[in-house]
Amino acid sequence: MPTLRSSSSPSRVSSPLRRTAGGGQRGFSASSSSSVSVPYGDRDSDQASQGDSDSLSADEGSDFEEHLRRNVKKRAAKRPLKTTPVAKHPKKGSQMVCGHGQKDSEPPAIDLFDAVKAAKSDMQSLVDEWLDSYKQDQDAGFLELINFFIRSCGCKGIVTPEMFKKMSNSEIIRHLTEQFNEDSGDYPLTAPGPSWKKFQGSFCEFVKTLVYQCQYSLLYDGFPMDNLISLLTGLSDSQVRAFRHTSTLAAMKLMTSLVRVALQLSLHKDNNQRQYEAERNKGPGQRAPERLESLLEKRKELQEHQEEIEGMMNALFRGVFVHRYRDVLPEIRAICIEEIGSWMQSYSTSFLTDSYLKYIGWTLHDKHREVRLKCLKALKGLYSSQDLTARLELFTSRFKDRMVSMAMDREYDVAVEAVKLLTLILKNMEGVLTDADCVGIYPVVYASNRALASAAGEFLYWKLFYPECETRTVGGRERRRSPRAQRTFFHLLLSFFVESELHDHAAYLVDSLWDCAGSQLKDWECLTSLLLEKDQNLGDVQESTLIEILVSSVRQASEGHPPVGRITGRKGLTPKERKIQADDRVKLTEHLIPLLPQLLAKFSADAEKVAPLLQLLKYFDLNIYCTRRLEKHLELFLQQLQEVVVKHAEPAVLEAGAHALYLLCNPEFTFFSRVDFARSQLMDLLTDRFQQELEELLQSSFLDEDEVYSLAATLKRLSAFYNAHDLSRWELYEPCCRLLQKAVDTGEVPHQVILPALTLVYFSILWTLTHLSGSGASQKQLLSLKGRMVAFCELCQSCLSDVDSEIQEQAFVLLSDLLLIFSPQMIVGGRDFLRPLVFFPEATLQSELASFLMDHVFIQPGELGSGHSQEDHLQIEQLHQRRRLLAGFCKLLLYGVLDMDAASDVFKHYSKFYKDYGDIIKETLTRVRQIDRSHCSQILLLSLKQLYTELLQEQGPQGLNELPAFGEMRDLARRFALSFGPQQLQNRDLVVTLHKEGIKFSLSEPPPPGSSSQPPNLAFLELLSEFSPRLFHQDKQLLLSYLEKCLQRISQSPACPWGPVTTYCHSLSPVENTAETSPQGCPRYKKRRTEGPSRRQRGDVSSSQEESLQLNSIPPTPTLTSTAIKRRQPLRGLEEVEEEGRSEPELTQGQPLSGNQRSRFSSPQHFQTLLNPSGPGLGNRLTRLSLMEEDEEELEIHELSEEWQETDKHASPSEHGLDLLDSTELNLEDF
């Protein structure tokens, strides 16, 4: 058995290639790439380090044709190279001649290239024309071919006859490299535009046609092919990416064409050998000596041709492939792997050996997606043939683990090809894949990508279902699957789904198997017979699963698209698929209409089973009830539906029943009157029961549990049907309002009754609005509806203070929806007649809504575990509910229902609850800024004021900036500052106003007279300093002067500390050399400096501008919006996050000054020095107090966007990926 060898040379492979003398080496000297300073900007400087050790031959200073002539003696006599002065000793003084300025005697370098690029003429005709010109003048023709490949690389220089005669190949390539000074990094193979898209295909077709047309003439001449291989080998070793990429593609396509020629020669040799043996075995009288001699001569000629072809192939493989399959450019690696795969398929006798297969096996670990994809596709071509798989046993055993692991590749298309490859191995190599290997692939059937899940479904089918259930062919024709085989299929499907416990929804398993086992899954006759059998051996879980499989297969056949959450790249169905879909819908409807009442009757007691059965109706073609005269089955269905509704109170069953009845209540159906009568009977039954039970509740002060359950169940049924049907004629509004009013007044009504009653009143208002919106309503009707709506809002407002959290949340949701519906938006679109219905909530209601949000949404949840326990699922559901509540409140803000200032109650929790609600708050912040940028900046400042005031009231002014909560506020301020984005000029006035108001707030409460303590709000300046990088230089000077004048109004003590003032002043102070004064190890962002006005010019400020920033008034301290008193929650992990994410100056700033630093930089006497940026007090110590990168002040406006993105890349872990201006990034994974 052959073994895999680590040698990179396949010289010992048992193939015809080993008979070539010496093998091919790279045909150019090492100096062609090592002694040249490469000017081209898109060269790979580290490429030469890969594979160079085994690419240099012993005679590395010689040219390829010299080396090949010495080693292949048989071909030396046939070559005209000895008499043709091609690529001989180099001479000095040779120069590069570009495309323009050529002499008339020089060959046209652009004719062949332009013809291939245009691809308008037949490629065979083009090659024939070149062959004619080559036969007339070999040198000129070959130069035209060389210049074609040079132009295809994107180089505008050409090879002249003088260069061809006087210079070696290595010198020619060196000169071409020096002249390759294109500004763009694009070249024909990568250039954009319609004219270049088809160039690669035309280029490859030209190489293929060239070999095909020369296979009986010039291919064995020696001169053109050997020199062409020499040129391509040298170019493939170039540091210029365009040379390397294009020449590798040409060399590999040339090799592929030579492989086809070698295969044809091999077939001719075999035919010749059979003819010779047949002639020799004839009797003495019948044998023709001339015939034998002719066959021997022919065999000798074929042998010589084959040796020459194999010599060329060996030279290309060793000189190009062995080194370029591990090139730094993934496109080059992909070309090599794709072509070696085609060699193995077409000429398996020579190439399908372990010495060549190892290159594909090694490249399976490539880090680039395209290369791995080419490897898998090449292997698919090999494993798809059973004749070739016998020679892949050693390779499979060596690389099987890697192929199995690639089913979990991060790139979906790679994973799809990996699973398809494993399916081929499973089909064609029995016993290779063990059960342990297959277990790792089974979960992929539940992948979100449909292509991947479908490939895994096919693998699962061939592994588990095909051996037991596949039909056998009789006489070449497939016979119908037996019912036993179908039952076996569904039993195996049930076993896999239930026992594997990989997923909770069988719809995704059905979708994965749909492409390969759709015919079995559409056997609804077998499915229903299994469900309706009396002596079946199915358990409760298996019955539920089988019903889910039935519903999923019906949905898939009727709708033709995958389940929710599964991604597919298709936009629609083809006409053929739509025809199949329509036929399947008719078939399933005709089969299930008579059986659906039976299924409901059998499983009517089980809510988990009856709910999906009721969903079957929405996939039916309901017209068949009329066209096929199946009204009697409709009557049976309506009877079973009424029994199910009266029997169950689960929301899923009631919702499914209401929707099924809604589908049947279409006035266009001829059976509408029957369905409407059945609906009226059901509603009469439910409303009579409700009226009776309500009277008992209102008259009695106590109800037992059974009575409460009965009333709650009746209300749930009415609520579910009121959602889908107009029940206004049954007048449920008044009795429900009486019930809710008693609940508010006495608190004696159970919460199980209040929840559906609230929903009933809500639906009653919406159905009334629907009637009034569709026709001209009177003023009296509109005012009556508004009165009902206002009364219901008051009831919901009262429920917000209920002791039961479910009632509170339900009231909040209904209030949010009603306020949004009856907002000013309802008159948009020509509905001005509804203006009397517009409702604005009062201040008390707005305050209670905000308080509810603070008490029920912005709470610290418990830590999630692995996500699989019941507690974890409950926490996830609660989180989704809180997100819905927050989204409802934010919509009220954005549509103008609530005062925009109430957004501060949301924004101030942006940082603390970023993980849970970051996407919602970010989107709200973006929309608020789009509505009013000025007001938005004021709301941001108000959010910081509220947080600061809360912390001040809880902790007091002493040591405030040392608390973890204060660090969290600084992080929030930093996020707010980033939200202004790169539009510095557009936000100039907003940021200045924000600083101005922040200074006012920090000095709004002066310290007590005679006290040495600082103002209680002074630490707010540290939060304000986070916005300083968004200021212009001139504005910083103005704010410094403004702060100085404000501080002069406050009595100062010599011993008074001024840490926040020092920090804020430094954030406004320009620093000449930030990089020099910053501590070592602190990361600084590289920024370009642009020409602009000097610091002195930018710092000049007129006295009139300074007077414009005078202190006008001191606002009162903002009050808390929430009425609930909450405990201060410690910030978990803040210290670790700060240490990881902050730079050294930020860490230093986060700590209070102590000792000499405090006395030196915090005293009022030193403050005058801080206000002078050029003073001697600005040293290294002061620089360490910085909270931001001062280099931002050096940038012009057009560079701010780049700087902001760079800052975002180096943000702390809590800010990673934050982009407050991108309203499209709403996925929590992006934050």
Higher pLDDT, 1201 or 773: 773
Please check the confidence at residue 475 and state whether its pLDDT lies above 50: no
Higher pLDDT, 77 or 897: 897
Letter for the amino acid at 814? L
- pLDDT value of residue 873: 83
CB 67 within 8 A of CB 57: yes
Distance CA 470, CA 457 (A): 15
Letter for the amino acid at 33? S
pLDDT single digits (tens) 584-598: 999 999 999 999 999
| 985: helix, strand or coil | coil
Distance CA 526, CA 549 (A): 12
pLDDT single digits (tens) 998-1034: 999 998 887 766 666 788 888 899 999 999 998 998 9
DSSP letter at 473 equals E
- pLDDT value of residue 344: 94
pLDDT single digits (tens) 795-850: 999 999 888 899 999 999 999 999 999 999 888 888 888 899 999 999 999 999 99
The CA dihedral of 222, 223, 226, 229, to the nearest 10 degrees, is -140
pTM score of the predicted model? 0.72
- What is the mean pLDDT of the segment spanning 899-915? 93
- What is the mean pLDDT of the segment spanning 477-488? 71
Please check the confidence at residue 250 and state whether its pLDDT lies above 70: yes
- What is the mean pLDDT of the segment spanning 752-761? 94
- pLDDT value of residue 1150: 36
Q: Which among 20-34, 106-120, 280-294, 523-537 has the top mean pLDDT?
A: 523-537
| 1152: helix, strand or coil | coil
The whole-chain average pLDDT of the chain stands at 77
- pLDDT value of residue 406: 95
Confidence of residue 910 (pLDDT cuts 50, 70, 90): very high
Higher pLDDT, 1209 or 247: 247
- pLDDT value of residue 1099: 40
Give percent above pLDDT 70 in the chain: 74
User: In the chain, count of helices (H) and strands (E)?
Assistant: 58, 4
- pLDDT value of residue 929: 93
Distance CA 893, CA 891 (A): 5
- pLDDT value of residue 997: 93
User: Worst-scoring range by mean pLDDT, 22-26, 337-341, 408-412?
Assistant: 22-26
Distance CA 249, CA 253 (A): 6
Distance CA 108, CA 640 (A): 88
Bin 565: left if φ > 0, else alpha if -120 < ψ < 50, else beta.
left
Give the pair of three-digit tokens for residue 1021.
Answer: 């300046």
CB 131 within 8 A of CB 213: yes
Letter for the amino acid at 355? S
